[in-house]
Amino acid sequence: MFKRLLGSNKQPKEVGDILVSSADIQKGDLISKNGPHGDVYRCLFKKTKAVVKFFSKADSSQKSFKEETETLKKIFHPNVLLIMGIIAEKGITGVIMESMRCNLYNVLYEPTKCPKALQKISRLNKFKILRDIAVGLAFIHSLAKIPHGNLKLTNILFDDSGKVKISDYFYSNLRTPVKVNGYYVCSQKGNNAYQAPEVWLNGTFPNAASDVYSFALITIEFMVENNSFYGDYDTADDKSIFTAIQKKVKVTIPQSFSQTHKVILGRCLNYEPKNRPLMESVLAAFDQIVVESTMTSVDAIEFWSDRFSDGDVPLFEVSYDDVMFALDETVLSDCDENVKNEIKEDLAPLFPANGIVTAVDFDTVVCWFGEFFNDPKIIDEMRDIVSASYFSGLIDKKVAEGKLSGKVDGTYLIRMSFTDAKKNPFTLTRNVNGSPKHHRIERLSYAFVQARYQITIDNKKITAQTLSGLIEALTKMGLIVNPDDGVENSDYGEA
């Protein structure tokens, strides 16, 4: 239930487009009481669901907010929380923000509070989220030319679709470090675990370099789901962290990280702020980090990095046309243009329909079929499979069941498998006694030997050199009859 916010109806002096009247706010449920800077409520702002943070009297620096208004109203970025309005009236200072679903702390430690897509995140998606955070932070530093000053898990938010956005960047003028028990903190109420050493030791006002340090700590915690940055020193206790900083304890960077990742994090975590990279440099390294950390084939990494890069940094994503052009210059160099166009059309179903191919997409296809960029014979096999009547492409289990629902026993289809693309590249889905059954098809060898594929049905192992040969063997055994005709009889899902 929403109540009209009590306050002056007098229109404030015009400073910028986002300076608004408190009369435009209907305050709703309390989200957070007595936070580091005040209270946070759900609200309606001009009939739009939003969130409003009202500052405590000690933090009600209306002058600094008015000074920042011209900068804040220019900040529009998909990875930065939208500021919808600022209230600066007698007795009331607040910020109106778009409403979000959860934060990075929830994602890591309270996942049930988050959208389903964030409740179990793959290593690849973690890298994508971290890259988006880097993009947002680099944008704030370069365009707005303001530091965040207090980057931490609870200031990194997600909407209902799982899109990540940086919040609280507009409090930069309220980050003055306060000396407590011999060390400095920017917040006497919140978590200071992500503060940079120069803030702890000298009370240095947070800046872009301290944001870089904070980002590196968040990266490590998000990837390993643990915040023991300083070994045995308790990161929940300010005094313990300060002791570690005093002793210049080096933050532990996991050995499982790629070499590029370890190097860039090491630079970010340098105790000397002047030796840390700019956020733009960190962002530039992230594409290379993602490529190295998520691609499994050494040859695929080399092929991708040699052909798709910005200077020395490999790109994370390119167009399907770019991929085909790279193949044209290598494995397809002896083919005429008509054949090249046919291959381009034939292989398209193995890649995302939006025409964008990521390094991971490319690596997955390599895991499914082998190093097709080096061997025309593999490309021939790929074309045979994609054009076969039994092939249903990149569909999941639910969609496969929907396709076979209501059809006679023995109807079957073959789809790509994402669970372990290298070991089990394909899945056979067939109707048995009125119900769909799923069987993994195992790859025994990438080489064109006699037994390359194997499937186990009713405790019987059937092997063949090609997928078509395996289908032929299963048909002769009566385990499958007719390939799916592609007509869906139910609404199980969408392909």
For the chain, domains (ranges, CATH) are 3-98 (3.30.200.20), 102-291 (1.10.510.10), 295-387 (1.10.238.10), 391-483 (3.30.505.10)
Hey, is 89 helix, strand or coil?
strand
pLDDT tens digit sequence for 304-351: 989 998 877 788 889 999 999 999 999 999 999 999 999 999 999 999
pLDDT tens digit sequence for 29-47: 998 887 767 789 999 998 8
Q: Which ranges constitute the DSSP H helices of 174-278?
A: 197-202, 208-224, 238-246, 259-268
Q: What is the pLDDT of residue 9?
A: 43
Q: Which ranges constitute the DSSP H helices of 316-370?
A: 320-328, 337-347, 359-369
Rounded CA-CA distance 203/385 in Å is 64
Query: Per residue in 460-474, is it b (16+ CB within 10 Å) or e — as a string?
Result: eebebeebbebbeeb
Residue 366, token pair as written in the block: 């390599």
The counts of H helices and E strands in the chain are 15, 23
Interacting residues of 140 by C-beta distance below 8 A, sequence separation 6+:
75, 80, 146, 147, 148, 166, 169
- The H or E element that residue 428 is part of is strand 426-432
Rounded CA-CA distance 77/167 in Å is 12
- Whole-number Cα distances in Å, 334 to 329, 338, 374, 375: 9, 12, 13, 12
Rounded CA-CA distance 292/301 in Å is 7
**Which residue in this structure is represented by tokens 């001009």?**
46
Write the DSSP assignment of 135-194 as a string of letters. HHHHHIIIII----S---GGGEEE-TT--EEE--GGGGGG---EEETTEEES-SSS--TT
Q: What is the pLDDT of residue 470?
A: 96
Q: What is the pLDDT of residue 203?
A: 93
- Whole-number Cα distances in Å, 11 to 7, 8, 50, 89, 92: 11, 8, 21, 9, 13
199: left (phi over 0), alpha (psi -120 to 50) or beta: alpha
- The letter for the amino acid at 82 is L
- List the chain residues with pLDDT less than 50: 1-16, 490-495
Q: What is the pLDDT of residue 494?
A: 38
Q: What is the pLDDT of residue 292?
A: 81
Rounded CA-CA distance 331/346 in Å is 16
Beta bridge partners of 211: none
Q: What is the pLDDT of residue 64?
A: 65
